[in-house]
Amino acid sequence: MNNGKHRVSGTSVACCVGTGRVIRRDFVDIRSAARSNPRMTPPPKLLDRLRDACRVRHYSIRTEDAYHDWCRRFILFHGKRHPLEMAAAEINAFLTHLAVERQVAASTQNQAFSAILFLYRNVLAVEPGVIAGAIRAQRPKRLPVVLTKPEVRLVIDRLEGTYRLVAQLLYGSGLRLLESLRLRVKDIDFDRNEVTVRQGKGNKDRVTMLPESLKPALVEHLEKVRRLHEKDVALGFGGVYLPDALGRKLPGAATEWKWQYVFPSAAFSVDPRSGVRRRHHAHEGSMSREVTKAVRDSGVVKRATSHSFRHSFATHLLEASYDIRTVQELLGHDDVSTTMIYTHVLNKGGLGVRSPLDG
């Protein structure tokens, strides 16, 4: 880090060469100034500024909450010291604590690291220094849990109502759980047998297939959802969350049928960002619990989750000799190497080798 001064929210900051440590100089006690001048509006708190920075960049509410939580933990871990008083050494200590004491997964530690770097670079506008020497959690190589076709039927048969319909979409269309729950009425094209995923992982759109056998149940389900929507409108509600600035561009769209969620929540909730009370999509936690219970009741001994339906979708298409590039497109993978993980099931036994015991 170069020796110099950075101006951050009225605070003069000097950086020590080689240490990466940030020293605060001429810090103005803004709270005292605000008390002496009632007209002065106190600046937002640090973690509130973090949320604002996430929203400016159109980060999801989940990323925003995760970054907020990790930065709060980082500050509490070091005795509530301000991040401007800390730098690379303190970040290393926190990351090492996560790996050694908390024994977190590699992805969890990486998320914490990303959150702290975001705080320094995009909120405080300073470089924390070279992050080196921290003990990093090892990322193991994992194979996906894949169910056979009979196992898929066993699990789905133990689900009922909306849970069953969602599971059939996960397996029949290769959707992620949140992608299915965030579907809008307009995203399902019954004539073309297509499902359009909007703002999926990586904020990308894609098109996948709609199973022909699922159409009658889905039509019946949407009729129930329409009646629920009409009842909400009659009560003065019926509005739904619209992404980005669509709510301002299309003032009446929030109550239009085509924008409603295919799988709405059973109850109203308050939007954490806007404070508006409305019906959001169904919560993924309830679906995950039902799938776990269905797997247990079915007698399937694999550690399957709702995401296993997507793994099984890809694997069964490859077993049916569909081109891997086609499967890649349906799954929405950027790189075909990600899709290649599913080819492991195409090898019989130990990499296609016939056991001598069977000879």
User: What are the domain boundaries of the chain?
Assistant: 42-123, 149-346
The SS3 call for residue 192 is coil
**DSSP single-letter state for residue 349:** T
Question: Please, what is the average pLDDT of the chain?
Answer: 85
Please tell me the pTM assigned to this model.
0.76
Across residues 175-194, what is the average pLDDT?
95
Q: Is the pLDDT of residue 196 over 90?
A: yes
Taking residues 331-342, report their average pLDDT.
Answer: 89
Tens of pLDDT along 45-65?
A: 999 999 999 989 988 888 999
> How is residue 77 written in tokens?
């871990």
Provide the token pair at 56. 């400016």
Give tens-digit pLDDT for 310-331: 999 999 999 998 999 999 999 9
Q: Which whole number is the average pLDDT over 181-208?
A: 92
More confident residue, 168 or 344: 168
Do the domains spanning 42-123 and 149-346 agree at the CATH topology level?
Answer: no
What is the full DSSP assignment across 155-193? HHHT--HHHHHHHHHHHHH---HHHHHT-BGGGEETTTT
CATH number of 42-123: 1.10.150.130
Give the angle 188-193-195 at the CA atoms, nearest 5°: 35
Residue 264: strand pairing partners:
281
Give residue 12's pLDDT: 41
Closest CA to 322 of 331, 83, 236, 252: 331
Tell me which residues are annotated as active site. 176, 201, 307, 310, 333, 342
For residue 22, what pLDDT is reported?
A: 46
Name the CATH code of domain 149-346 (choices 3.40.50.2300, 1.10.443.10, 3.40.1380.20, 1.10.645.10).
1.10.443.10
Dist. CA 263–CA 286, nearest whole Å:
12
